[in-house]
Amino acid sequence: MADAARSVTLAYFRTDQLATENKLNEGFDPVTRADREAEQAMRGILAERRPDDAILGEEFGAQAGTSGLTWVLDPIDGTRGFMSGTPTWGVLIAVSDAHGPFYGVIDQPFIGERFIGGFGEAHYSGPHRTGALGVRKTQDLADAVVFTTFPEIGTAQEGAAFHRVAAEAKLVRYGMDCYAYALLAAGQIDLVIEAGLQSYDIQAPIAVIQAAGGVVTNWQGKPAHEGGQVLAAATPALHATVLKLLAST
């Protein structure tokens, strides 16, 4: 499925064939032909190989199944980056059951990187090396590198909570979409804090990060696989520190 989505997305990336539409009447939430065709390609594979499984995709919604498993698909996470030519977007694929996601893939077609996690194992493959994924061991927020996609972080209250954390971190960076979660699983950064996510935005990152040894919850310390507010941390100690700051509104 990831290979199929790679083929579709790369055919449009950084070309003049990419037509962009806006999903919103107010604001800007783009969708492209590449988003739709990549999801259709993945759904076609599932129809052939896993016809009894349910599907939840960003572009074509929910399809019921009878197996108790659901494939959660985001054909291009970071469409704004995709349409801008930046290689920080990705293809997200997760498999979940009643307890949440247990296997996930974060794929970056243009760079050729793939981050996979599930069943207690996490692996990376890319143009320069392959190997196991593992989070960093950072314990203190003062030593932490934190990422988020949008500086506003949702509502004004959510933004204020994020900036309390950012003020105590070593370094803050913006605009990475799903690639930030991949970097956390790869041991390159320590925290990702976001709000306003959908389930298809976060289920694959949850599976990959947890398999790499990290922690992912919502801002109340509860499961985050339905989306909303998300806190991903390299270590339990760092996660606990940030939870307190996010909650002190």
Specify binding-site residues: 58, 74, 76-77, 201
- For residues 70 and 20, what is the distance between their CA atoms, to the nearest angstrom? 29
- For residues 69 and 49, what is the distance between their CA atoms, to the nearest angstrom? 13
**What are the structure tokens assigned to 165, written together?**
């954390």
- For residues 194 and 218, what is the distance between their CA atoms, to the nearest angstrom? 9
Query: Which DSSP category does 187 fall into?
Result: T
Instruction: Count Cα neighbours of 242 within 13 Å in the Cβ-side half-sphere.
Output: 36
- For residues 206 and 225, what is the distance between their CA atoms, to the nearest angstrom? 7
Pairing of strands 191-197, 145-148: parallel
Helix, strand and coil in the chain, % to nearest 5: 35, 30, 35
Residues 6+ apart with CB under 8 A from 189: 136, 145, 146, 147, 173, 180, 183, 234
- For residues 234 and 39, what is the distance between their CA atoms, to the nearest angstrom? 30
Residues flagged as binding site for Mg(2+): 58, 74, 76-77, 201
